[in-house]
Amino acid sequence: MATASSDSRRSRRRKARPPVSVLRLGHRPGRDPRLTTHLALAARALGADRMYLEPPDPDLAERIASIARGWGGSFTVEGVEDWKSVIRSFPGRVVHLTMYGRPLDRALPRLAGPAPVLLVVGGAKVPPDVYRLADLNVGVGSQPHSEVAAVAVVLDRLLGLPSPRRFAGGRRRVVPRARGKSVVDRRRTS
Ligand code: SAM
């Protein structure tokens, strides 16, 4: 017999979640590698498929690839020279995250479903054309904070926390514990 909770579980399963990519504008190779690295790590860990990085930074892309080899999944960082062409050719909804945008709660219903989503975030300064080229300008609150926080909140609201299956193929995996650290390393056990 179907219960209210089994019905709601089924309906949650039926709702397709969009594949999400991130476009990071205005990266400064060699000047702020930590912030962009944290953006890529948060995007990967919270369920995005890829990050487009403008301008390209092959060293950073290789560092993230090495983390993905170790911890699994298929997240990639792709360098781009021409960010406008990434937005124009994107086959889905382009969402510019900005403190000046409309509230996230209002935008979420338009982003649910299988159509891909591109989250565009800036650095210190955002080219004004982004506001016009995006389908939606969305604020995670209307206070200034950070691209890492904005992407993390939107991914959580859109996708929920990813299942461990998403990170298949890694050499290492954490065994969650109440205290201390436990990591299974396949290189050591095989
Ligand atoms: N005054 C800048 C602006 O235009 O939002 C703040 C730049 S902030 C250091 C870098 C990036 O973080 C922004 O380009 C934006 O993508 C993101 N961001 C900061 N605060 C945000 C907010 N409240 N909502 C959505 N995104 C935000």
pTM, two decimals, is: 0.91
> Which pLDDT belongs to residue 10?
54
- From CA 113, how far away is CA 100, in angstroms rounded? 25
| Element housing 38 (H / E) | helix 33-45
Is 39 close to ligand 1, i.e. is its CB under 6 Å away?
no
Residue nearest to atom 13 of ligand 1 (CA): 122
Q: Which residues make Cβ contacts (< 8 Å) with residue 95, sequence separation at least 6?
A: 107, 111, 117, 118, 119, 120, 134, 135, 136, 138, 154
Task: Give the H/E segment covering residue 125.
Answer: none
* CB of residue 36 inside a 6 A radius of ligand 1: no
Q: How many whole angstroms separate alpha carbon 55 and alpha carbon 44?
A: 19
Does residue 103's CB lie within 6 angstroms of at least one atom of ligand 1? no
> What pLDDT was estimated at residue 100?
98
What's the number of domains the chain is made of?
A: 1
Decide if 101 is inside a domain: yes
Could you report how far apart the first and last alpha carbons of the chain are, in Å?
Answer: 46
Residues β-bridged to residue 76: 50
Looking at residue 31, what is its pLDDT? 84
Q: What are phi and psi of 22, to 5 degrees?
A: -120, 140
pLDDT of residue 187: 74
Ligand 1 atom 21: the closest Cα is on which residue? 99
Per-block average pLDDT, block size 10, for the chain (190 residues)?
A: 55 74 94 92 98 96 96 97 98 98 97 96 93 98 98 98 92 95 78
Does any ligand 1 atom lie closer than 6 A to the CB of residue 153?
no
pLDDT score, position 186:
84
162 CA → ligand 1 middle, Å: 25
For ligand 1, atom 26, the nearest C-alpha belongs to 98
pLDDT at site 4: 56
Q: Is residue 71 part of a domain?
A: yes
Q: Which residues contact 14 (CB under 8 A, 6 or more apart)?
A: none
Rounded CA separation 158/79 (Å): 25
Note down the domain range covering 149: 14-189
Q: Looking at 30-139, which runs of residues are DSSP E strands?
A: 50-53, 76-79, 93-103, 117-121, 136-139
- 9 in a domain, yes or no? no
Ligand 1 atom nearest to 145, measured from its CA: 20
Q: Tell me if 4 is assigned to some domain.
A: no
In a domain, 137, yes or no: yes
Does ligand 1 have an atom closer than 6 angstroms to the CB of 98? yes
Residue 3 falls within a domain, yes or no? Answer: no
Provide the pLDDT for residue 190: 45
CB of 99 shorter than 6 A to ligand 1 = yes
Tell me if 43 is assigned to some domain. Answer: yes
Is 90 domain-assigned?
Answer: yes
Question: Residue 122 maps to which CATH number?
Answer: 3.40.1280.10
